[in-house]
Chains A and B, each alone.
Chain A
Amino acid sequence: MISQLLKTLRDGDGFEAALVLAAIGYLLVFAAFPLVYNIVMSFQEVDMFSLASFDRPFRGLDNYRDLIQRPEAWEILRNTIIFVSCSVVFQLGLGFALALFFQLDFPGAGAIRGLFLAGWVMPGLVVGAIWKWIFAGDFGVLNYALHSAGLIDKNIFWLSDPAYALAAVTIANIWLGIPFNMILLSVGLAGIPEDIYEAAELDGANRWQRFMSITVPLMGSTLGAVISLGIIFTLQQFDLVAALTQGGPANASNIAQYWSWQMSFQTYEISAGSVVATLMIAVVVVVAAIYVRSVQHEHSA
Chain B
Amino acid sequence: MKRSLLTGVAVVLAALYLFPVYWMFVTAMKTSGEIFQYPPAFWPASPHFQFRAVFASYNLGRYIWNSLLIATGTTAITIVLGTGAAYALAYVRGFAVNVALFAILMLQVLPPSLMVTPIFVAFNQVGLLEWPRVAVVLATAAKTLPFYIILCRATFTQVPRELRDAALVDGNSRVGAFLHIILPLARNGILITGVLVFLQSFGEYVYSRSLIADKELQTATVGLSTFLGADANDWVGLMTYSSLYVTPILLIFVVLQRRIVSGLTSGALK
Contact = CB atoms under 8 A, between A and B. Distances in A.
Interface of A: 10-13, 15-17, 19-20, 22-24, 26-27, 30-35, 37-38, 41, 46, 51-52, 54, 98, 101-102, 104-119, 121-134, 136, 138-139, 141, 144, 148, 175, 178, 183-184, 186-188, 222, 225, 229, 232, 235-236, 238-239, 242-243, 257-258, 260-261, 264-265, 270, 273-274, 276-277, 280-281, 284-285, 287-289, 291-292, 295, 298-299
A24 B85 contact: yes
B145 A125 contact: no
Given A22-B85, A270-B121, A117 B257 contact: yes
A101 B13 contact: yes
Contacts of B261: 114, 117, 183
A30 B138 CA distance: 7
Given A117-B257, A144-B38, A51 B225 contact: no
A141 B30 CA distance: 14
A133 B235 contact: yes
Given A126-B203, A126-B224, A24 B6 contact: no
A31 B140 CA distance: 10
Looking at A30, A139, A243, the one whose CB has the most chain B CB atoms below 10 A away is A30
Interface string B167-195: 00000011100100000000000000000
A9 to B, nearest CB: 8
Interface in B84-106: 84-85, 87-89, 91-92, 97, 100, 102-106
A225 B267 CA distance: 12
A96 to B, nearest CB: 14
Given A123-B205, A235-B111, A130 B88 contact: no
Q: Which secondary structure dominates chain B's binding surface?
A: helix
A282 B74 CA distance: 27
B269 A295 contact: yes
Contacts of A16: 87-88, 91-92, 174
26 contacts: A16-B87, A51-B121, A109-B10, A112-B11, A112-B14, A117-B257, A121-B199, A122-B203, A123-B220, A125-B225, A134-B20, A139-B40, A141-B23, A141-B40, A148-B39, A178-B17, A184-B268, A236-B109, A238-B111, A243-B225, A257-B113, A261-B210, A264-B120, A281-B114, A284-B109, A289-B106
Interface string B143-167: 1011001000000000000000000
B21 interface: yes
B76 interface: no
Contacts of B6: 104, 106, 109
Contacts of A265: 116-117, 120, 210
Q: Which secondary structure dominates chain A's binding surface?
A: helix
A125 B238 contact: no
Contact of B141 (A30, A41, A144, A225): A30
B206 A183 contact: no
B112 A115 contact: no
Given A16-B174, A141-B23, A183-B261, A35 B4 contact: no
Interface residues on B, range: 35 or more
Contacts of A104: 6
Interface string B6-41: 110111011001101101100100000001111110
A299 B153 CA distance: 15
Looking at B39, B104, B174, the one whose CB has the most chain A CB atoms below 10 A away is B174
B62 to A, nearest CB: 17
Given A27-B145, A130-B21, A260-B117, 18 more contacts: A10-B174, A10-B175, A23-B81, A26-B81, A30-B139, A101-B13, A102-B10, A119-B17, A123-B202, A123-B205, A123-B220, A123-B221, A133-B239, A184-B268, A236-B112, A238-B113, A274-B118, A288-B109
Contacts of A292: 102, 105-106
Contacts of B199: 121
Contacts of A298: 269
Given A112-B11, A123-B202, A118 B250 contact: yes
A169 B60 CA distance: 27
Contacts of A299: 270
B122 interface: yes
A114 B253 CA distance: 10
Nearest to B265: A187
